[in-house]
Amino acid sequence: MKQYLDLCQRIVNEGVWINNERTNKRCLTVINADLTYDVANHQFPLVTTRKSYWKSAIAEIIGYMRGYQSAADFRALGTKTWDANANLNEAWLKNPHRKGEDDLGLIYGALGRAFPKPNGGHVDLLQGIVDDLTKGVDNRGEILTFLHPGAFDLGCLRPCMYEHHFSLLGDTLYLNSTQRSCDVPLGLNFNMVQVYVLLALMAQITGKKPGKAYHKIVNAHIYEDQLAPMRDIQLKREPFAAPQLIINPDIKSLKDIETWVTLDDFEVKGYQHHDAIQYPFAV
C-alpha cells in the first residue's frame, strides 16, 4: 500500500502534463515505477485508502487467462470494466473488425492463448508455461505476452499490462510483469491485485511455492479529472493494514481455472478501508 501511495504522491509532486490524443484528456505523468509484491508472505496489495472492487480485478485476470474477447463474458464472470471499451470507444465502434455488441476483438488472452505463428497456426503460451513449470522446467523464457503489434487494429485497446515472465528458483516461482501505460487511480488499483493473484494462482496450479512478483510500469499517469480527488482526498487518508487473500485450495489446474472457477473461490479477510471514491474513467 505504501508503495502505491508513494507513486501517487510522486506523480502529484513531479508529474509532467501530457496531452493524450486518444482520450482527449491531459495526464499528469511520470516515467518508470517498480512495485514488488511479497506473495510468499501473503502481503496482498489491496488499496485501503478507498474501497477497492477487488472481485472485478480478479474477474479480469481470470478472463485474460481464459482468452475472453467479449465484454459479455467478463460481465458473466462478475465485472463490467470492459463494457465501455467494447461499446463506447469511438475508434473501435468505427473499426470494421468489430464483430458487434460487446466484441473486444483480439485483446489480452485472446492473443496469449492463441498467439499467431509467423509460419501459420497458433501457440497457446499459457498452457506451454503451465506444462513447463509443472515439470520444474524454466527455460529462461517462460513468457506470457499479450502484445502483438500486428494485431493493434484488430482489438479495442492495446494491452496495458502486456507481459508476464515466470521464473523458477528451485521450487519457488517468481513473476516479472510489465505494464506500458497505467491509469494509477483506477487501473493500478486493479493491476496490483492481478499481478499478485497471477503469481499465487500459477504457483498453486503448478505445485510451486510463490515467491515475489515484480511489477514494472513505464508510463504512470493521473488523468486531469482524477487529480483533485487523488490529491485532496485519497492522499490525505491513512492506510490500514493489508488484508489477506484466500484462494480455494481445490483449484489445481489450468483446466479448473478454465471450467469451474468463479469469484466465490476468492475471499478477502480483514479488509478495512476508507470510503469509496468514484474516479472518472477515460474511454
Ligand X SMILES: Nc1nc(=O)c2c([nH]1)NC[C@@H]1CN(c3ccc(C(=O)N[C@@H](CCC(=O)O)C(=O)O)cc3)CN21
Catalytically active residues are 160
Does position 191 bind ligand LAUPNLSC by CB under 6 A? yes
* Nearest residue (beta carbon) to ligand X: 187
Q: Which of 164, 179, 161, 155 is nearest to 107 (CA)?
A: 155
Binds 69, which of ligand LAUPNLSC, ligand X, none (CB < 5 to 8 A, cut-off by type)?
none
Kindly state the smallest distance separating residue 267's Cβ from ligand LAUPNLSC, in Å: 23
Smallest distance, ligand X to C-beta of residue 205, A: 25
- Find which of ligand X, ligand LAUPNLSC, none residue 158 binds, CB within 5 to 8 Å per kind: ligand LAUPNLSC
- 125, 182, 200, 245: which one binds ligand LAUPNLSC (CB under 6 A): 182
The interface partner of residue 181, options being ligand LAUPNLSC, ligand X, none and the CB cut-off 5 to 8 Å by kind, is ligand LAUPNLSC
Q: In degrees, to the nearest 5, what angle opens at C-alpha 144 toward C-alphas 143 and 150?
A: 105
DSSP 3-state of 244: strand
- Closest distance of CB 86 from ligand X, Å: 10
Rounded to an integer, what distance in angstroms lies between the CA atom of residue 200 and that of residue 214? 13
Amino acid in position 153:
D
Choices 6-14, 66-74, 93-101, 157-165 (CB under 6 A): range interacting with ligand LAUPNLSC: 157-165
Cell (9 digits) for 91: 475508434
Residue 275, SS3 per DSSP = coil
Which one of ligand LAUPNLSC, ligand X, none interacts with residue 56, CB within 5 to 8 A by kind?
Answer: ligand X
Q: CB–CB of 151/107 below 8 Å?
A: no
Of residues 133 and 162, the one with the C-beta less far from ligand LAUPNLSC:
162
The item of ligand X, ligand LAUPNLSC, none sharing an interface with residue 85, based on CB under 5 to 8 Å by kind, is: ligand X
Please state, in angstroms and rounded to a whole number, the distance separating the CA atoms of residues 87 and 101: 7
Tell me how far apart the alpha carbons of residues 139 and 6 are, in angstroms, rounded to a whole number.
35
User: Which uninterrupted H or E stretch holds 215?
Assistant: strand 209-223
Nearest to 274 by CA among 230, 240, 251, 244: 240
Q: Is 77 in the site for ligand LAUPNLSC (CB under 6 A)?
A: no
Beta strand 172-183 pairing with 209-223: parallel
When asked if residue 158 is in the footprint of ligand LAUPNLSC (CB under 6 A), the reply is yes
Decide if 118 contacts 112 (C-beta within 8 A): no
Interface with ligand X (CB under 6 A): 53, 56, 79, 81, 85, 157, 183, 186-187, 189-190, 281-282
Q: For residue 127, how many C-alpha atoms fall within 13 Å in the half-sphere facing its CB?
A: 12
Annotated binding site: 22, 180-183, 191, 221-223, 282
Instruction: Provide the binding-site residues for ligand LAUPNLSC, judged by CB under 6 A.
Output: 22, 157-158, 160-161, 181-183, 187-188, 191
